[in-house]
Amino acid sequence: MNFTALKEKISQSQIVNFGDVLNETFELFKKTWLQGVLLVVVLFVLIFALEMLAFIPLAGVVSASELISPNAMKDFPLTTILLVFSVIITFICAVMTISNALMAGYYRSVKAIDLGESSGSDLMYYLKSNYLLKSFKVSLAQTGIIILCYITCFVPIVYVMVPVSFIVIAFAFNPDFSTAEILKVSFAIGNRNWVNAFFLRIVTSILAMLGIIACGIGVLATFSIALLPQYIIYKKVVGFDNSSEIDTIGSKVE
């Protein structure tokens, strides 16, 4: 489905029912909770590895600069400060890019299980070089939107948290779209179903955090329930008319 047809389909879709989406979320969670556990574990391992990679140059800077007093910061050369900020920014961009790619792979796995296409995992599917570039662009746009809303005031961030939550799933099922088109799709779905999506996000986020009761370990199993309402809403609003469409994509990614 091309971008124009997809936007038209969204504009003509009915508003999703809160109760239906919540019930389907619980049912799908029973089938896919293991994929959610895998997502959390892989995210933790990769982010930890990136932290170690970022720590090495930072530790070298600190050691070379002999930071032994609270006033040492004023003696930092400009090049050192720029290096530290560069490492931090690079780390953040890498985490966002990989996290979005993994979550896109998680949604691909959820779709396959939901439609009975496969019981395996496609978690690493979007870690390919061409998809990583798109994930990087999407992550930059996503971060820019959030920062802009925080800078302005509180109200915009409350509004934008709903459409932004559909960015990864729009990327997962339309990786051939441009970054601008992915953003437009996510905002179109989020705006049309804002109220229900907002309260579904609150309810499922609370349920996801209940895992903390089990000494925090339970979060591994419950975290993914907060990601499923977006999938259910996308499925109801857009659907999957061509279930093999994204399998044929490769050379068109921008």
Q: What is the pLDDT of residues 93-135, one digit of tens each?
A: 888 899 999 999 999 999 999 998 876 778 999 998 889 999 9
Instruction: Kindly state whether residue 254 falls inside one of the protein's structural domains.
Output: no
Instruction: Kindly state whether residue 33 falls inside one of the protein's structural domains.
Output: yes
Structure tokens given for 191: 């705006």
Arithmetic mean of pLDDT, 243-248:
45
Greater confidence (199 vs 216) lies with 199
Confidence band, pLDDT 50/70/90 cuts, at residue 185: very high
pLDDT of residue 211: 73
Instruction: Kindly state whether residue 253 falls inside one of the protein's structural domains.
Output: no
Instruction: Kindly state whether residue 205 falls inside one of the protein's structural domains.
Output: yes
Q: How many domains does the chain have?
A: 1
Confidence band, pLDDT 50/70/90 cuts, at residue 252: very low
Instruction: Kindly state whether residue 38 falls inside one of the protein's structural domains.
Output: yes
Instruction: Kindly state whether residue 73 falls inside one of the protein's structural domains.
Output: yes
Instruction: Kindly state whether residue 178 falls inside one of the protein's structural domains.
Output: yes
Instruction: Kindly state whether residue 142 falls inside one of the protein's structural domains.
Output: yes
pLDDT of residue 152: 78
Domain with 113 in it: 3-248
Dist. CA 224–CA 39, nearest whole Å: 8
